[in-house]
Structure formats: structure tokens, C-alpha cells
Amino acid sequence: MKSLRENLQLALDSLATHRLRTTLAMLGIIIGTAVVISIGSVLTGLDRSIGALLERFGTRTVLVSRRSPGIETERRGQDERLRKLITFEDAGAIERLCPAVERIAAVVYDENDGRSGQFLTVRYQTEEAYVPVQHFSGVTTDYLRVTNMIVRDGRFFTQSEDQRRLPVAMIGYEIDRALFPNGSAVGKIIDVNGQTLRVLGVFDRRKGNFFGTESADQFVIVPYQTFRKLFPNVRDHFLMAQARPGRLDEAVDQVRWLLRSRRQDAFDQPDSFYVSTAASVIEQFQAITAAVTSVMLLLSSIGLLVGGVGVMNIMLVSVTERTREIGIRKAVGARRRDIVEQFLLEAITLTGLGGLFGLLTGAAVGVFLRWLYPSIPTAVPVWAIAAGLLLSLIVGLFFGLWPAIRAARLAPVEALRYE
């Protein structure tokens, strides 16, 4: 134990004597460890957001749309734009003919083909806010129950208000904050691109918003029939069906076969629509994050490898510079094991300090990301800390072993002659 403590002190003294060289040798270790910690903190935040997304949509929700939400290629985008529209009648057929479906909500919206990035202006007196075109939509009254959204202030519209096509609206959290920072929005009259609407209620902040995108809470919804009155030419729909307890897979199958029949999809052709569940969307997202994680871990491994090579070079230089010291230690009785332990401990200390600084850097990156994207509750998990520190120590052990063995093999007489 005393020998270990003395070797550790020698290692720290040697590293302190050559600060610049030590810093440069640790740089690769710091970067590699920081990447591991950063990835861990982001994954933790994404897992929490994914859990919140599942809670938001519920485990029984079936999503139906004309186009898939995945990455769109030019050919795929063109093919999907040419598909038949999902209609309000489809929603009624699903409600009547799919016994595994408990309730269904229809959402009508402007798909905004060819006008990507267009926004609508929402005004109240002198205040203004903006919503993406697709975020101004009409919904049926079951929308609230299917989506599990929470009304923070006011109330949701009724079936009677929908049938009478009243000019009423529900607004998202960010719209409320922008237009009514000092008071309640309920009962106020807002203007949406020239359409006057009375606010009935305000939704609470949505759960499961990825990457801090506030646009998820920048929306205005009106009763379905009101929207059709305002925009009679807009006919694209998005359906959200809620399966009966324990019958999610059955509901998905029933919805698929009913829509294939109604849309006359040939038996040997794929679906001309997109059906998914919240769980399947999450699985797709997790597949993407797993691929990104693999790439980032590969990059961190390269950083650790470069750092390890740097550590080996530094240790070989250190062995050469301290050849006479090694000879003196051997002359007074130091064993080969003592010399190996001395230089190996020095390498491990070097990479261990690099790992510690990398841990602090990665944690700082996590804090910065949390500030930049508040909806991702980044937190450094224990496994990331353990993995980062363990990898840095393994790098020191692996790349420090050869210089330590080389130092231990020096003959005492030849070492003492070295100038």
C-alpha cells in the first residue's frame, strides 16, 4: 500500500512537471469521455420525452394519415401526395364497423403542399403570434379524450357548438403566453388571418415535445364543422382512434382492412395510407436514436484511441527522459514489478484525470443542451459516468502497459550510464 501511494505521488509530480505535455496527452481522452457523457445525458432526456409522448397519446391510440411521418424522399413524397385523401366518412365508417375501436377523432387541416414553412398570424389587440399552417385545424369533440390533452384554463367546445359551426377556438400554451401574458385568454376575441374567433379555453403545455420545439404548443383548433365552414376546400384529414382496453392490435387490423376495402387497395399492393400507434412511432424514433448513438460512440472511440496513442508516446518519452532515474531505483533494490507499477500508474492517472475532466465537460454540455432545449430534461445517468471513467482507465492500462514493460526491462548498469 505504501509503495502504491509513493508511485501515485511520483506520477502526480511527473504530470505536474510537464503541464503542457500532460494537457495535450489528455485532450483526446477528455473529448472521448465528454462524448460518452453527453450521449448518455441526451439519451436520458429522450427516454423521458418518449415516455411522456406515450403518456400523451396513450397506449391505445391508433393514428391514421395519408402520408407517413418518416423521412421523405422526392419519389416517396410524390407518390404519397397522389394518394386518395383520408375523409370524414372514413372516420364514421371506422366508428361504426370496427368493434375494437372505442372512439375516434377526426382532424381536418391544410396539408400545405408546396408551401413549406408558411405561417398564419394570430392577433389580439396589439399582440401577435404565429402558427404553422398545419397547426390551425378543425377537430371533432372526441379529440380531447383521445389525445389525453389537458385544458389549463376555460373549457373544450361541445357537440352543439360544433354542429352550429360557432366561431370558437382552443389555443395552445405558447399562443396563450404570447397573446395574453398578463391575463386570461378565455372569452377574448382573436384574429387568425382575418377570421375572428372567441377563445373558449387554453391547453396546458404538451408532453413529449422533442428538441424543445415550441411549435408543438403553437396551435389553434376550432370545431370540425366550423373549420369546414371557414375553409370548404380543405379536405385532408388525420384520424386518431382509441382502441378498447386490451384490443389495440385488433383495432389496428380492423382499421387497416376497412380502409383498404374503402380505398380499393389491390391485395398485392401496399396500403395507400399510414396506420401506426404511439408505441410504433416511438420504436421508429428509438431506432433512429440507436443509429445516432452508434455513430457518436464510434466517434468517441476514435477520440479515445487518439488519446491513447498520445498517452503511449508521452510515456515512451517519459521513460527515455527518466532512464537514469530508473537505473538508480533498480540499483537500490527496486524490482521490475515496482517499475511497471510506477509507469503504469502514471499512465492510468493521466487518462483517469482526462476522464474526470471529460466527465465535467460532458455534464456541462448536458446542462447547456437543457438550457437550449428545455423540453429535453437531460441528466447524466450513472451508467454514462461509469462507462466514461472505466473506458478512460482501460485506455491508460492498455496504452501504458508497453512503456511500463520497456522501462522495467532496462538494465541497471546501462540505465545509470545514460545521459
Question: Other CB atoms closer than 10 Å to residue 305's CB: what's the count?
Answer: 14
Task: Check whether 373 has a pLDDT greater than 60.
Answer: yes
The answer to whether 165 and 249 are in contact (CB under 8 A) is no
Q: What is the mean pLDDT of residues 120-130?
A: 88
Confidence of residue 71 (pLDDT cuts 50, 70, 90): very low
Q: What is the mean pLDDT of residues 348-357?
A: 85
**Per-residue model confidence (pLDDT) at position 235:** 80
Q: How far apart are CA 383 and CA 391, in angstroms?
A: 12
The answer for residues whose C-beta is within 8 angstroms of residue 107's C-beta and 6 or more apart is: 137, 138, 139, 140, 143, 237, 238, 239, 240
CA angle 29, 31, 35 (to 5 degrees): 115
Task: Check whether 176 has a pLDDT greater than 60.
Answer: yes
CA angle 318, 324, 329 (to 5 degrees): 100
Of the candidates 71, 342, 376, 37, which has an alpha carbon nearest to the alpha carbon of residue 207?
Answer: 376
Q: What is the mean pLDDT of residues 282-302?
A: 73
Percentage of the chain lying above the pLDDT 70 cut: 81
Q: How far apart are CA 42 and CA 123, in angstroms?
A: 36
Q: Which residue has the higher pLDDT, 296 or 349?
A: 349
Kindly calculate the radius of gyration of the chain based on its CA atoms and give it in whole angstroms: 32
**Per-residue model confidence (pLDDT) at position 413:** 64
Mean pLDDT in the chain?
A: 80
Confidence of residue 72 (pLDDT cuts 50, 70, 90): very low
Q: How far apart are CA 157 and CA 152, in angstroms?
A: 14
Q: What is the mean pLDDT of residues 74-102?
A: 80
Helix (H, G, I), strand (E, B) or coil at 57: helix
**Per-residue model confidence (pLDDT) at position 277:** 82
